[in-house]
Amino acid sequence: MTNTIGWNFDNSYARLPQLFYTSQNPTPVRSPDLLVLNSELAESLGLNAEELQTDQGIAILAGNETPDGASPLAQAYAGHQFGHFNMLGDGRAVLLGEQITPQGGRVDIQYKGSGRTPYSRGGDGRAAIGPMLREYIISEAMHALRIPTTRSLAVVATGEPVIREADLPGAILTRVAASHLRVGTFQFAAQWGKDGDLQTLADYAIERHYPAVATSENKYLSLLQEVIKRQAVLVAQWQLVGFIHGVMNTDNMTISGETIDYGPCAFMDTYDQATVFSSIDRQGRYAYGNQPYMAGWNLTRLAEAILPLLHEEEEQAVKLAEESLANYSDLFKENWLKGMRAKLGLLKEVTEDEALIGELLETMQEHKADYTNTFRALTIGELEGQELFQTERFLKWHTQWQKRLELEDSQSNSQKLMKTTNPAIIPRNHQVEAALEAAEKRGDYEVMKRLLHVLSDPYAYSAEQTEYAAPPAPSNRPYRTFCGT
């Protein structure tokens, strides 16, 4: 096949031991139709966006044709799902291959919803249009918010129904990721691997994501420490924008430090530490306020999996792991506190800042304030529209904040920092649902295109973003999300 699209594959994962995957072609679909293409992302990958919109390009994005150089496979992994350990794997996903970009980067190209695999566990391996478009919207919004994330290249309708509670139109999402190595991949290797498999996987992860630690005295300990750092940064970024992942199982935590798997995720409207959106998280395990702790729990599972690599003596290996894990809380707090200072325009570090931040958040929770719009209002200096701003507690806090700002060298620098830190808009859940409903029920993609456009620069504070900053009506609450499987 003539490669006019620009595919440039080198499939290093396929060179790992057979334990880690099963060669698997996507299941062809009846009548593929391109619904949305991320042209900007395509070009950055060295792909010709126009060619991807041809019949051949769409056939590839649907899994009906395999481009030269690809090595399709389904990955094996395990994971703690809501605390329960299970053997898992790509039940409805196929890794097409690894694209080498014009800049020399290496990224996974993966289909989601491309048919059954040996890891489907009775599932049909398919996905519906709604959840795939939802992942496209949220992942691209996260990218615009400068939060490490997998990205979405395209969504293709399959022309075939997917049977869930009702018959739904099917779709395939093409996902781009630094890799799909997960905490659960290491758990799988530790549980079912043969001698040397765990070390081979760890060496691969180091080569792919942390090459600088390859010459460390204890490179596997360094690997653990680097993953801890990345996750501390990532989860702090989630907290700072009010993002709730919804399903922080160990199979949904990447070694690269990217956000992955936009199933029952959502952005918080009213500030509340106990906020949960996922319909299956009945105990609040992955509530907003629990996310930092659950990331630490997941990292502990990673450390357990690689203990044999840390030291030949188990007692010493445990000690090394515990010392590294003990740093996680401080790393998270350091990143979160730095981000919260920025949200309030505080460039200098003052001991009392933590109490100032805490008082604001407690006041917001007490008065059920909108999280994003509170910081948006503080940024532009328009304190109206929320009950919070008229309360005695807030007014007292505001006076203290203004006094604290006087310690900064420049008021303009403070406001500039706030404007580049506090998004004017987030993908509001009711607006995402409106876009999906228009696309699914009416075939109208203009609502989604407009939403994607305003989300592409969340720090613009433009006039056209104003309507998208409105919180949901009371009738749209409480909002519930579903995993989409």
Query: What Å distances lie between residue 246 and 47, 174, 312, CA to CA?
Result: 33, 22, 37
Query: What Å distances lie between residue 386 and 302, 394, 429, CA to CA?
Result: 43, 11, 19
Pinpoint the alpha helices (H) of 313-468. 314-325, 328-343, 353-366, 371-380, 392-405, 411-419, 429-442, 446-455
Residue tagged active-site, from 90, 108, 251, 269: 251
**Helix (H) / strand (E) containing 137:** helix 129-144
| CA 50 from centroid of its chain's CA atoms | 28
DSSP secondary structure letters along 30-60: SS-EEEEE-HHHHHHTT--HHHHTSHHHHHH
Write phi, then psi, for 97 (nearest 5 degrees).
165, -170
Q: Which amino acid is at 355?
A: A
Residue 251 a catalytic site member = yes
* Residue pair 132/436 in contact by the 8 Å Cβ criterion: no
Residue 127 burial (10 A CB sphere; 0-12, 13-18, 19+): buried
* Residue pair 177/110 in contact by the 8 Å Cβ criterion: yes
Query: Catalytic residue numbers?
Result: 251
